[in-house]
Amino acid sequence: MTRSALPGLAIATAVLCVGLLLAFTVGRYPVSVADLFSVLLAKISGQTAGASTAVQSVILQVRGPRVLAAVLVGAALAVAGTAFQGLFRNPLVSPDILGASSGAALGAVIGIFFSLGVLAIQALAFAGGLLAVAAVYLIGSAVRARDPILVLVLTGVVVGALLGAGVGLVKYLADPYNQLPAMTFWLLGSLAAANVTDLLPLFGPVAIGSAVLIALRWRMNVMSLHEEEARSLGIATGPLRVAIVAAATLTTSASVATAGIIGWVGLVVPHLARSLVGPDFARLLPTAAILGGGYLLLIDTLARTAAEVEIPLGILTAVVGTPFFIWLLANMQKTWS
Amino acid sequence: MAISRRSFVAAALATVGTSTARAGVTDATGRALSAPEKVARVFPAGPPAAILLYTLGPDLLLGWPRANRPEECAYMLPDVCARPEVGRITGRGNTANLESVLALKPDLILDVGSTSTTFVSLAERVQQQTGIPYVLLDGRFDAIPATYRKLGELIGRHDEAEKFARYADDTLKTIDGRTAAIAPSNRPRVYYARGPRGLITGLGGSINVETIELLAQNVAGGNEGGLANVSIEQVLLWNPDVIITIDQDFAASVYGDPSWASVNAVRNGRVHLSPKMPFGWVDFPPSVNRLIGLWWLANILYPDRFHEDMRALTRDFYIMFYHRTPSDVQIDHVLAGRE
């Protein structure tokens, strides 16, 4: 706790800035740096830019919204992962531990099954995530046990498996020519379709959830202690747990609704952030948010530039995340304790 | 359980054995078949087979892989269209139970599609297990005439089959004759859009773009493969002249979407929504329903070379293939790409 947070925060910010610069300048559509700055300057000053309309549309309608969405989704998943790892006192927990992703997946495939529009599919995914976690929480609280945290995690695993079976059932019933490919692509996660209209429904819940978590940062430190210790320090653990779970679920569901299922970010980034600034949530949360945004932005830049066709984000994050996580596990003693 | 199933299969084998088998009949893969003299009940292995059989011998069709919707039945023979859902036995998702297949007592299992090793071995397996002749016919576009003739031979309807084979032959030859002189690089550059945001497309050689690639350049054809997700940036870079889509939501929203505004096809109003009733015209199911789609695509892509009246063509095709005369309102509905 005596370590200064500044160097760690600076590294995270540097990653995000490099990510932003790279993400705006590279892409399938060639955009020169001069065009980029002229369009951005013109946008800020309200003048008309000299670049062609296609270039303007690429920067302002296509690449810009996608870059912002990647940063928001990455930050949201990292913040939620950080909160859950602290709450459950377990370094192997990720934001989908309480069924948010499985619930969102079920909502989305049902939307695709009934051939709904994009907005309705996203709304169903968002609602599915919230409902799944609410159900897990209610069931977990109804079971009287000595260790409420353990019961909650186990309930999450079980309900998640049930929802996964539901996703399988809907895929089985779906039209194999049209709906099944759409479901598969959605479940693999992608920001290919992110546009301006996605940003507000994504930003709102992520901002609210993150604000609640940052406001609770001191109490979250206490929650990392054992239940009895936290209570003895005068913390009402029950209501606090509800608030943390609700806030983390809000951010997770919003990001899954926009980008589909993206694993690993919420698992790996909190560890990275912890190794940079230590376990104090007051520093950890902002660092994880910035780092998560930069990390997913870099991954998404790779996903959209490596080939003519998109590489699904879920696949890339797993390929990058797995070796990285094994390396982290080998060094975990230093960062977690 | 195992015993009862074995005796069941043995009984079925015996039935096939006793009926007079026609010698020397082979399917598209060259497998010799002991097709019974009189075929009265045919089980379609998947949607392409069901549609092919519906056009040539609707009375023989035991059921559909998936139940048809009432809107679709408006274009077909009501009693055949209403036949029950029997599942499918092709590909990855085997939704039909082999015991229920046997219970339907088919004379023949008909499959149309890929004749690769995977599907030949699947056909062999099902035939061995059920004792019912499993016919695998080639589903590729240029094989349609041959496929009709083969099916006619199998079910004893040569003359009828010849009519369908000729229609397919004429369609393919007329269209090829009028477009063969156009160099590949001079053909319109087409982007095929699927999904509510239009960002799922068919790569080169995929069955989803078989019709489009017969007539035009597929902008995503540089990579071989099946369906893939692409980014809007990539579409902007391809800048296609024409967009063909099957998605109503996408077709309705693309002209108002600023991120698509600079694409040539959008600027010139050349986003076309493919007809899909009762079966899709350009993509799926990959069966003879796409023949009329070929005319439709040719009319859109080469208006100076094709002056056919699409309404008349549609009426004739629906009468011949779907055995029901569509009303003018229905034809308008179909051509507008609505469901």
> What digits encode the pLDDT tens for the residues A154-198?
999 999 999 999 999 999 888 888 888 889 888 999 898 888 888
Q: How many domains does chain B have?
A: 2
Considering the segment(s) A6-336 as one domain, its CATH architecture is Orthogonal Bundle (1.10)
Q: Which residue of A has its CA nearest to B208?
A: A177
CA A307 to chain B, closest CA, distance in angstroms equals 9
Set of chain A residues whose Cβ sits within 8 Å of the Cβ of B196: 117-118, 121
Residue A175, judged by CB atoms within 10 A of its CB (0-12, 13-18, 19+), counts as middle
Cβ contact, residue pair B233, A57, below 8 Å: no
DSSP A150-200: HHHHHHHHHHHHHHHHHHHHHHHHS-TTTHHHHHHHHHH---TT--HHHHH
How high does pLDDT run on average in chain B? 86
Contacts of A34 (CB under 8 A, 6+ apart): none
Domain-terminating residue out of B147, B176, B205: B176
CA B173 to chain A, closest CA, distance in angstroms equals 28
**Is A51 within 8 Å of A63 (Cβ atoms)?**
no
> What digits encode the pLDDT tens for the residues A258-284?
999 998 899 999 988 988 898 889 999
Q: Is A50's pLDDT higher than 90?
A: no
Query: Which of A58, A62, A109 is most worth mutating to test chain B (most B CB atoms within 10 A of its CB)?
Result: A62
Pick A44 or A328 by higher pLDDT.
A44
Domain map of chain A by residue range?
Answer: 6-336
- The confidence band for A5, taking pLDDT boundaries of 50, 70 and 90, is confident
Q: What is the DSSP letter of A138?
A: H
Other beta carbons within 10 angstroms of residue B291's beta carbon come to 21
Which of A94-98, A166-170, A238-242, B7-11 shows the lowest per-residue confidence on average (mean pLDDT)?
Answer: B7-11
Percent of chain B with pLDDT over 70: 90
> What digits encode the pLDDT tens for the residues B125-169?
888 888 889 899 988 888 999 999 999 998 989 999 999 999 999
With CA atoms as reference, report the closest residue to B200 among A178, A316, A257. A178
Domain-terminating residue out of B108, B141, B176: B176
Structure tokens at B249: 């939501």
Q: Which residues of A68-93 are buried (b: 16+ CB within 10 A; e: fewer)?
A: bbbbbbbbbbbbbbbbbbbbbeebeb
Say if residue B121 is in the same domain as residue B74. Answer: yes
- The confidence band for A333, taking pLDDT boundaries of 50, 70 and 90, is low
- A281 φ/ψ angles, rounded to the nearest 5 degrees: -65, -30
Q: Is A73's pLDDT higher than 80?
A: yes
Amino acid (1-letter code) at residue A269: V
Distance in Å from the first CA to the final CA of chain A:
12
Set of chain B residues whose Cβ sits within 8 Å of the Cβ of A30: 237
Give pLDDT, residue B7: 40
Cβ contact, residue pair A121, B223, below 8 Å: no
Say if residue B136 is in the same domain as residue B268. Answer: no
Say if residue B233 is in the same domain as residue B297. Answer: yes
C-alpha A65/C-alpha B83 separation (Å) is 49
Give pLDDT, residue A230: 74
Cβ contact, residue pair B258, A27, below 8 Å: no
Cβ contact, residue pair A58, B228, below 8 Å: no
In the stretch 208-247 of chain B, residues with CB closer than 8 A to chain A read 220, 222-223, 225, 227-234, 236-237, 239, 246
Query: Which of A175, A177, A198, A315 is most worth mutating to test chain B (most B CB atoms within 10 A of its CB)?
Result: A177
- B224 φ/ψ angles, rounded to the nearest 5 degrees: -80, 150
C-alpha A95/C-alpha A99 separation (Å) is 9
CA distances from A190 to A21, A51, A98, A134, B45 (A): 21, 29, 22, 26, 34
- The confidence band for B94, taking pLDDT boundaries of 50, 70 and 90, is low
C-alpha B203/C-alpha B212 separation (Å) is 11
Give pLDDT, residue B164: 95
Set of chain A residues whose Cβ sits within 8 Å of the Cβ of B259: 57, 61-62, 195-196
Q: Is the peptide bond before B285 cis (omega within 30 degrees of 0)?
A: yes
Set of chain B residues whose Cβ sits within 8 Å of the Cβ of A312: 229
Give me the sheet containing B134-138, strands edge to edge.
B42-44, B108-113, B134-138
Domain that holds residue B276: 178-335
Say if residue B265 is in the same domain as residue B323. Answer: yes
Say if residue B108 is in the same domain as residue B255. Answer: no
Domain-terminating residue out of B145, B176, B207: B176
Partner A contacted by B200 (CB < 8 A): yes
Percent of chain B with pLDDT over 90: 58
Say if residue B238 is in the same domain as residue B258. Answer: yes
Set of chain B residues whose Cβ sits within 8 Å of the Cβ of A29: 233-234, 236-237
C-alpha A193/C-alpha A207 separation (Å) is 22
Q: Which of A62, A117, A181 is the closest to B227 by Cβ?
A: A181
CA distances from A55 to A61, B196, B238, B261, B329 (A): 10, 24, 14, 11, 44
Give pLDDT, residue A198: 86
> What digits encode the pLDDT tens for the residues B166-205?
999 999 999 999 999 999 899 999 999 998 889 999 999 8
Q: Is B16's pLDDT higher than 70?
A: no
Percent of chain A with pLDDT over 70: 97
Q: Is B122's pLDDT higher than 70?
A: yes
Other beta carbons within 10 angstroms of residue B230's beta carbon come to 25
Give pLDDT, residue B213: 93
CA B234 to chain A, closest CA, distance in angstroms equals 5
Q: Which residue of B has its CA nearest to A310?
A: B230
Q: Is the peptide bond before B278 cis (omega within 30 degrees of 0)?
A: yes
β pairing state of B242-245 and B271-273: parallel
Question: Where are the alpha helices (H) located in chain B, listed in sequence order?
Answer: 2-18, 47-56, 70-73, 78-81, 98-103, 117-130, 144-155, 158-179, 210-215, 232-238, 248-253, 264-267, 290-301, 310-322, 328-335
| Residue ranges of chain A whose CB lies within 8 Å of a chain B CB | 27-30, 53-54, 57-58, 61-63, 66, 117-118, 121, 172, 175-178, 181-182, 185, 190, 192-193, 195-196, 304, 307-310, 312
ipTM for the complex shown: 0.76
Q: What is the DSSP letter of A59?
A: I
Contacts of A327 (CB under 8 A, 6+ apart): none
Q: Is A2's pLDDT higher than 90?
A: no
Give pLDDT, residue B11: 36
Set of chain A residues whose Cβ sits within 8 Å of the Cβ of B284: 177-178
Q: Which residues of A241-275 are buried (b: 16+ CB within 10 A; e: fewer)?
A: bebbbbbbbbbbbbbbbbbbbbbbbbbbbbbbbbe
Amino acid (1-letter code) at residue A284: L
Set of chain A residues whose Cβ sits within 8 Å of the Cβ of B223: 307-309
3-class state of residue A46 by DSSP: coil
> What digits encode the pLDDT tens for the residues A204-261?
999 999 999 999 988 888 877 777 777 777 777 788 889 999 999 999 999 999 999 9
Q: Is B30's pLDDT higher than 80?
A: no
Q: Which helix (H) or strand (E) holds B136?
A: strand B134-138
Q: Which helix (H) or strand (E) holds B108?
A: strand B108-113
Region B260-285: mean pLDDT is 93
Other beta carbons within 10 angstroms of residue A188's beta carbon come to 18
CA B238 to chain A, closest CA, distance in angstroms equals 9
How high does pLDDT run on average in chain A? 88
Give pLDDT, residue A139: 93
CA B17 to chain A, closest CA, distance in angstroms equals 36
C-alpha A14/C-alpha A20 separation (Å) is 10
With CA atoms as reference, report the closest residue to A257 among A180, A315, A203. A203
Find the helix packing angle between A281-305 and A64-87, rounded to 10°: 140
Task: Let me know how long chain B is.
Answer: 339
3-class state of residue A115 by DSSP: coil
CA A195 to chain B, closest CA, distance in angstroms equals 8
Cβ contact, residue pair B200, A181, below 8 Å: yes
Structure tokens at B10: 């043995």
- The confidence band for B8, taking pLDDT boundaries of 50, 70 and 90, is very low
Contacts of A90 (CB under 8 A, 6+ apart): A153
CA distances from A191 to A94, B199, B262, B330 (A): 20, 11, 21, 39
Q: Which of A29, A121, A192 is the closest to B229 by Cβ?
A: A192
Q: Which CATH number is B237's domain given? A: 3.40.50.1980
In sequence order, the β-bridge partners of residue B227 are B202
Set of chain B residues whose Cβ sits within 8 Å of the Cβ of A66: 231
- Number of Cβ pairs < 8 A linking chain A and chain B: 97
Q: Which residue of A has its CA nearest to B203?
A: A309
Structure tokens at B83: 């036949």
Q: Which of A177, A181, A308 is the closest to B234 by Cβ?
A: A308
Cβ contact, residue pair A304, B233, below 8 Å: yes
With CA atoms as reference, report the closest residue to A104 among A178, A170, A187, A173. A187
Set of chain A residues whose Cβ sits within 8 Å of the Cβ of B276: none
- The confidence band for A34, taking pLDDT boundaries of 50, 70 and 90, is confident
CA B289 to chain A, closest CA, distance in angstroms equals 14
Angle CA(A262)–CA(A267)–CA(A271) in degrees, nearest 5? 140
Cβ contact, residue pair A29, B285, below 8 Å: no
β pairing state of B108-113 and B25-26: unpaired
Cβ contact, residue pair A308, B223, below 8 Å: yes
Set of chain A residues whose Cβ sits within 8 Å of the Cβ of B68: none
